[in-house]
Amino acid sequence: MVELFEKKDGATEAIMINGKTAPFTSGETILDVARRSGIYIPTLCARADLPSTGSCRLCIVKVKGMKGYVTSCATPAEPHMVVTTNTAEIERLRRQILELILSEHPSACLICDIRETCEKFDEPSSKTGRVTGCNMCPNRDICELRQLVEYLGLKEIRYPILYKDFPLERDDPFMDRDYNLCMLCGRCIQICQNLGISAISFIRRGHNTKVGTSFEKLHVDGDCVFCMHCVDVCPTGALTVRGSKWYSYPERETSTTCILCERGCELVIDAKWNKVTGAHPVRDMNVGKREYCVKGRCCLPALFNSPDRLKYPAIRHDGKMIYTDLDSAIHHVADILSRYRSNNIAILSSRYLTDESIYTLHEFARVYANSNIFYCVDGEIIFPRIEKSEEIFKDIEILYLTEANSFTNESIEKFRRLENIIIQDAYPSSLHRSTKVCAIFPTTVFTEMNGTKSCAGGHSKPLIKAAEPPGNAISDWEITARIGKVLNNPDFKIKDFYSIQNHIRRNPQIIASVPMVPKDSLLYRGFPIADFVPDFKVFIERRLQSKGEVHF
Amino acid sequence: MYELIEKSEILNVHKMVFAAPKIAESIEAGQFVIVMGSEYGERIPITVSDWSADTGTIALYVLETGMSTLELARMKVGDSLYAVTGPLGVPSEIAHYGTVVLGGGCYGIGGIYPIAKACKEAGNKVISIIEARYSFMFYNERELNAVSDQVLYATSDGSRGKKGKIEDIVAEILESGVRIDQAFFIGCTQMLERCSEATRPYAIPTKVALNSIMLDGTGMCGACRVSVGGETKFACVDGPEFDGHKVDWKELNQRRSAYTEQETVAYQFYSNKQRTP
C-alpha cells in the first residue's frame, strides 16, 4: 500500500497528448490524464467518478504504434505514449458514431429546418408524455447529447431514425422513465452498483436491450431506494424526476441542509417563481456514497408547496377565528399571556426547528413559562435537562404549540385546566378547530429561512434561504422573539438573529439537550410527510407490502 | 356515462373513443367538446374527429401536453369521464369552394378529418397535407385518404414525403400555379401562424382552429378571448375557427402561457391512481 502511494505521488512518467507533455500516475486512463491536463475529449458514458465502460465509443483517440483507434476511457496510460485527440479523421469518425447513436434516439428536432424558432416557442406549453424531439424534452437544457451535437457540428443524420417503441414507465412514485431516449451508456447501472444498491441492470438482448429491474418489476417493488442518483448522471432525458422535470432552468440554486432527519445532508435547492422546484446533490458530488434518501431528494417540493400551508396569522375574535396582521396577532397573544402566571404556561417545542428557533423558545420558556418546555417524541413527552414530569400538566392553563399535530383533540384533554392554545405551525392540524385556540401563526419551513441546525455528531450545519414563504409566514424564532419583546421582561435577552447565535455559542448545552430526529422518521413537524406528498404515501405503502419495513 | 370504448396511442397522440350518444347525434364538422377527467379535473376542449350516431360514440385525438391530458392519457378502456359538454363552437363553413387545402399536425391530423369529409361531400377537390416529425408518427391515414383527392406528407427528418413543414408544401402547390380556394389548418399555434403566413401573399381564405385556454366553453367567462382583426372574439362561441390572416398571434401565445407556473407545479402533487403492480 505504501509503495503504491509513493509511486502515485512520484508521477514522474508522462505521455504526450497533442504535442503536450502530460504526467500520469499508474492506473490512470488516457482520458483521466487528458481531463487533468485540460484537454477535452468528448464522451457520453465516461464520468470521472465512475468506472469506465467504453460503451459510447466517442472518446476514441489515435495512439502512435497502436492499430486503429482506441477508446481513451478504457486505455491505461503508459510511459512514452504519443496520443492525438483531434485530427480531422477522428472528428469524422466521432460524427459517424454520434449519427449512429442519434439514429436510435428521437432526434428530428436537431436536424429540423425551423429548429431555432420552435425552441423559443414551445417552452411554456408542452409537457408531453412521450418525448419525440428535443423541443418537447424536459432535459433539453442540460442534455449532453445535444451539447455534443453542437460540439461536433453535426448537421444531418444520414440513417433512418428508429423508434424503439418501449412503453413509458410511469407507474413508479417520483420517477418517469422513457427508455426510447436511452442510449445505453450504462451510467445509471454503474452508479447504482457503486452505491451498493444494484437495483437495475441491462435486460433483454440485441436491439431490445434496455435498462431495467430483475423480472421487470416496478422499482418501488425492487431494491431501488429512489436516491435518484441515476437521474443525476443520465446524459439524456430518459430518466427524470416527475415533479421537477418541467421547470427548465431554475431561477436560483441554493446550497443548504436537509433537516428532515439527524443526518443533515447538504443539498442544492432549485427555486423558480419563489417556490422550491427540486433538490439535487451538489454538482461535484462524490458518487461513492449515497448522499440522499427519497425524503430530501423527492419530497421537498410537494411538501413545502402544499396548498394546505398556513399563510396568514389568525386570532379569535368574538368566538370566531379571523385573519389579521402579524403585529395585531402578536399583541393579542402577549395580552393573553400576560394574564397568566408563568407556572400555568407550557411550551411544546419541535425537534424539526432550527437551533435559533429552539433556543428562542427555551429562553422564552425560562423567562415567561417557568421553564415548562417539552418535546413530543413518538407520542411520549420529554422534558429536556430539567427535572419535570407530566405532573405539571394538571396546572397548565395556556399551551404554546410549535408542533400542533402532536396533540389531538382527545389527547389535549389531559390538560384539564386548559383555557387557551397558541399555535405556531406550517400546516393546519385537527387541533385548529378547537375552540380553545386563540391565535395561529404561520411559520416558514427550513428552505425558507436562514439559520443553523445541529445534526448527528454535534455538527452545526448552515441553512440558507432558498425560496419565499407563502403569505405572511415568518420564521419561528422571530414570532417567539417578538411576543417575548412585547411582554417586556428585561430578563428576556433575545434581540436579533445574531444575538441568538451568540447565546447559543455561550450555552451549547441547551441545543445539545434537544432530542434528535431518527433517520427513519416519516414526519416533518409532527405531520406525516405522506399526507402532503402523494407519491411518498405510495412509496411507503408499497415498501411495507413488499419488505415489511421502510428504511432510508 | 361517457365510457372509454377504444383507446390507442400513436406517440403521444391518444385516440380515445367515448360513448356520448347525444353528442354523436347532433355534432357537426369543426365543433368540439369539453371533457373533464374527474370531478376536480380541468375542463379540456378537444376537437371531435369522428362520430357515429348509430353506435353513439365520438372519437377524440388527445395530445398529452400537461397534467390534465396526462390523466386522460392514462385512462383505460372501461373507465369513464366525469363529464362531457358539447357540441360546442360554430361548425366549419362548408360550401362548394373548388379546391380546398387542409393542413394538420399533431392532434390536427385527426382534427382535419371531419372537415375534409364534409368538404368532399360538398363536391370540393380536397388536398390534405399532414406533418409529423417522423414517418412513424402519422395516423388516421386510411380514413383521410378515403375523403381526400390527394394526401401529402411532410416530415422533419425527411423520412416520408417532403422534408419540412406544411407551409413548404403549400408554397410548392401555390408556386406550381394550382389555385387554392379555401384553406383550413388545425394544429399547434406555431404551425397555424406559419401556415397562415404561407397563404397570405396569395390572399387565400384561411381558417385556423385556435386553441386558446378555455373554461366554460359557452361564452360566459371570457378566458378564451382572442384578438381577430382588432376585435375581441371568444374562441368558444365565435370560433374555434377564425381568419388566420387576422389573428393576433403574439397575444394568443402570451395568453396561452398565462398559467405556466400552476401547470408546472401541478406535477409535484400528481400520483397515478391506476398504479398496477
- Kindly report, residue by residue over B65-107, the tens digit of the pLDDT: 888 898 899 888 988 999 999 899 999 999 889 899 999 988 9
Q: Alpha-carbon distance A10 to A379, whole Å?
A: 60
Give the pLDDT band of residue A7 (cuts 50, 70, 90): very low
Reported ipTM: the value is 0.88
Helices then strands, counting H and E runs in chain A, come out as 15, 24
Instruction: Tell me: pLDDT of B113 over 90.
Output: yes
CATH of B93-206, one of 3.40.50.620, 3.30.70.960, 3.40.50.2300, 3.40.50.80: 3.40.50.80
Question: What are the boundaries of each domain within chain B?
Answer: 4-88, 93-206, 210-259
A397 neighbors A419 (Cβ within 8 angstroms): yes
Q: Cell 381526400 sits at which residue?
A: B148
Q: Collect all residues of chain B within an 8 Å Cβ-Cβ radius of residue A242.
A: 267, 270
B237 neighbors B225 (Cβ within 8 angstroms): no
Q: Exposed/middle/buried for A509, CB within 10 Å: 0-12, 13-18, 19+?
A: exposed
Q: Please, which residues have CB within 8 angstroms of residue B116's CB and are 6 or more apart in sequence?
A: B100, B102, B126, B128, B144, B147, B148
Give the pLDDT band of residue A124 (cuts 50, 70, 90): low
Q: What is the DSSP string of A455-505?
A: -GGG-EEEE---SPPSTT-B-HHHHHHHHHHHHT-TT----SHHHHHHHHH
CA B139 to chain A, closest CA, distance in angstroms equals: 15
pLDDT in tens, A378-405: 888 888 877 777 778 888 899 999 999 9
A168 in contact with chain B, both atoms CB, cutoff 8 A? no
pLDDT in tens, B130-143: 999 898 989 999 99
Phi and psi torsions of A241, nearest 5°: -90, 120
Which of these, B265, B159, B162, B253, lies nearest to B213 by C-alpha position? B253
Residue in A171, A242, A277 nearest the CB of B275: A171
Q: Alpha-carbon distance B46 to B62, whole Å?
A: 7
CA quadruple A506, A510, A511, A512: dihedral positive or negative?
positive
pLDDT (mean) for B148-162: 90
Q: Cell 497528448 sits at which residue?
A: A17
Q: What is the pTM of this model?
A: 0.89
- Contact at CB, B268 and A305, closer than 8 angstroms: yes
What is the per-residue pLDDT for A122? Answer: 56
Q: Alpha-carbon distance A330 to A309, whole Å?
A: 20
Best of A246, A276, A306 to disrupt the B interface (most B CBs within 10 Å) is A246
Q: Alpha-carbon distance B50 to A108, whole Å?
A: 30
Residue B232 grid cell: 375581441
Instruction: Tell me: pLDDT of A414 over 90.
Output: no
What is the per-residue pLDDT for A350? Answer: 92
What is the per-residue pLDDT for B60? Answer: 93
Q: What share of chain A is helix, strand, coil (3-state, %, to 5)?
A: 35, 20, 45
Best of B63, B76, B156, B262 to disrupt the A interface (most A CBs within 10 Å) is B156
Q: Collect all residues of chain A within an 8 Å Cβ-Cβ radius of residue B136.
A: 163
Best of A120, A128, A242 to disrupt the B interface (most B CBs within 10 Å) is A128
**Domains (ranges, CATH) in chain A?**
2-86 (3.10.20.740), 314-517 (3.40.50.740)
Which of these, A229, A249, A253, lies nearest to A239 by C-alpha position? A229
- Contact at CB, A108 and B157, closer than 8 angstroms: yes
Counting residues of chain B whose pLDDT is more than 70, the rounded percentage is 98
Instruction: Tell me: pLDDT of B182 over 70.
Output: yes
Using the 8-state DSSP alphabet, how is residue A47 labeled? -
Q: Quick count: other Cβ atoms within 10 Å of Cβ B95? A: 14
Instruction: Tell me: pLDDT of A320 over 50.
Output: yes
A159 in contact with chain B, both atoms CB, cutoff 8 A? no
Q: Please, which residues have CB within 8 angstroms of residue A344's CB and are 6 or more apart in sequence?
A: A395, A396, A397, A398, A417
Residue A450, CB-side half-sphere exposure with 13 Å CA sphere: 5
Counting residues of chain A whose pLDDT is more than 90, the rounded percentage is 48
Counting residues of chain B whose pLDDT is more than 90, the rounded percentage is 51
Instruction: Tell me: pLDDT of A2 over 70.
Output: no
What is the per-residue pLDDT for A8? Answer: 47
Using the 8-state DSSP alphabet, how is residue A264 labeled? -
Q: How far is CA B115 from the centre of its chain?
A: 11
Counting residues of chain A whose pLDDT is more than 70, the rounded percentage is 95
Give the pLDDT band of residue A432 (cuts 50, 70, 90): confident
Which of these, A184, A226, A187, lies nearest to A208 by C-alpha position? A184
Helix (H) or strand (E) holding A442: strand A437-442
Restricting to A residues 105-134, those with a Cβ less than 8 Å away from any Cβ of B are 106, 108-109, 111-114, 117-118, 121-122, 124-130, 132-133
- Between the two ends of chain B, the Cα-to-Cα distance in Å is 28
CA A221 to chain B, closest CA, distance in angstroms equals: 8
Residue in A114, A129, A242 nearest the CB of B12: A129
What is the per-residue pLDDT for A6? Answer: 41
Provide the mean pLDDT of chain A. 88
CATH 2.130.10.10 for domain B4-88, yes or no, is no
